[in-house]
Structure 1
Amino acid sequence: MGATKDEVRAPFPGASIVPGGIRSATMATTLDAPPERVWPWLVQMGTDRAGWYSWDRLDNFGRSSATRVHPEWQDVRLGSRLAANPDVDEYWEVAAYDPPRFLGLRMTLDLRGRPFDPDDERPSHHTDSTWGFHLRPLPAERTRLVVSGYWSLRPRWLRPPLSVLVLEPAHWVMQTRQFANLRRRVAGT
């Protein structure tokens, strides 16, 4: 959605984070604010923080996503964990951090939904993925936000059907909503 052919074909940051990963869908939008005003909204994401700015009943467990930038949630760095659920037992870890240009989040789970350390021995059945936010400045104080990432799944035979039937459609629905909500929020700051 919204990504140009060049954005889909161009190299996307974070390719080396997921060994053997394939590029996931690429989506993009233009925001009416410079990257420096968009960045604070991204780094405060997380279920235990500002939410994900998408469908709150689905991805934020019914809690409303923040409608303002919170200074107390801006201290994010490599290795920071952004909770993916209220129990904080699943999380996105900051795997790439280049303010205000690129934020790369990584989640590694076995197929029972338990996180594992990707530097240790990997479970035989697992998923390893990134969710990247690439911000490019545009004229007139605007930002081009391109979202993509890389994904690996074992067993490999499960990747095509799971991608086509579940992950890509769900990502499209959630990412589209996140873009719409981010447009409103950054325009108001």
Structure 2
Amino acid sequence: MTTQPVLITTTKTTQRRYGRFWRMLAIILGVWGVGTAVYLLFLWPWMRTWGATKAEIEAALPGDDIVPNANIRTTKGITIQAAPEAIYPWLLQIGVDRGGMYSYDWLENLFGLNVHTTDRIVPEYQNVQVGDFWRFTPKDYVLNPGPGLYVRQLVENEAVLLCFGMEGKPDEPCIDTWQLVLQPQTDGSTRLLLRSNMAMEPELPIKLTYFIQFIMERKMLLTLRDKVEQP
């Protein structure tokens, strides 16, 4: 007769624990769902078009044909108080073992990338040819061969068209671009546009993790502006 209350108590305790678990799980899933919805409805559209005008977002740009089956497109823009010919040489220096990535050196160096963004135009970095590979990681990095950018097309003082890829694999189909486009303005300034055309599935993970790329790309555009405009 004495064992029945113990069993009842034990059963009720187990039920309460399961109840708390499922309530907590429901709360976590609810918060994640709301957060994801807010991100996709508000943050994603803002990040993918940061700094760009409606006309720039809708415009056809050099390099749009590199990834003809693109399902994701981002277009960012910034105004630089300089002519295109003053900006173009800075674009030719991109790469961790070249002029740097113009982004957060301290953050990249936490991963041992040894990035040091230059403060000047370096003549030896100006001899760029189609097919060149600009590294995201140093030659002696643990990830070797590593990721980077292949130079697909150069239009002097107008555009630098790049494809993401792995070193040593230049012939693989391009599924993600960096299209750096210079558009002179009537007031003497220049619009620097950065467009990416991506052919990647599924889309949701790409969009949910895009904020990392956005942070680095936004900083790159701001740094380029500041370096070009420096006295």
Tell me which protein shows more helix as a share of its residues: 2
Pick the aligned partner of 1:9 from 54, 58, 62: 58
Aligned residues: 174
- State whether structure 2 residue 79 is matched by structure 1 residue 26: no
Name the one with the larger strand percent. Answer: 1
Q: How does 1:13-162 map to 2 (within 5 A)?
A: 13-59=62-108, 61-87=113-139, 89-109=146-166, 116-118=169-171, 128-153=175-200, 156=201, 158=202, 160-162=203-205
Q: Secondary structure at the match of 2:87?
A: helix
Give 1 or 2 for the bigger CA radius of gyration.
2
Report how far residue 59 of structure 1 moved. 4.3
Paired AA for residue 106 in structure 1? C
- 8 Å contact kept, 2:79–2:192: yes
Shift, 1:20, TM fit: 1.6
C-alpha distance in 2 between matches for 1:23 and 1:96:
21
CA distance in 2, matches of 1:85, 1:133: 21
Q: Which has the higher contact order (CA 8 A, sep 6+)?
A: 1
Tell me, in whole angstroms, the C-alpha distance in 1 between the residues paired with 2:116 and 2:70. Answer: 33
- Segments ≥4 residues shifted beyond 6 Å: none
TM-score, length of structure 1 as denominator length: 0.83
Q: How big is the shift at 1:23?
A: 4.4
Unaligned runs of 5+ in 1: none
SS of alignment partner, residue 227 of structure 2: helix
Q: Give distance in 2, aligned partners of 1:7 and 1:19.
A: 19
Cα root mean square deviation, aligned: 2.0
- CA deviations on 1:97-127 (whole Å, 9 max, x unpaired) are 1011011110235xxxx763445xx7xxxx7
Q: 1:59 to 1:10 in 2, by over 3 A?
A: farther
User: What's the TM-score once normalised by structure 2's chain length?
Assistant: 0.69
Distance in 1, Cα, partners of 2:56 & 2:168: 31
Aligned counterparts of 1:77 and 1:103: Cα–Cα separation in 2: 11
Listed one character per residue, the Cα deviations across residues 19-74 of structure 1 (whole Å, up to 9, x for unaligned) are: 42234211000001100000000001111100110111344624221111101100
Give unpaired runs (5+ residues) of structure 2: 1-49, 140-144
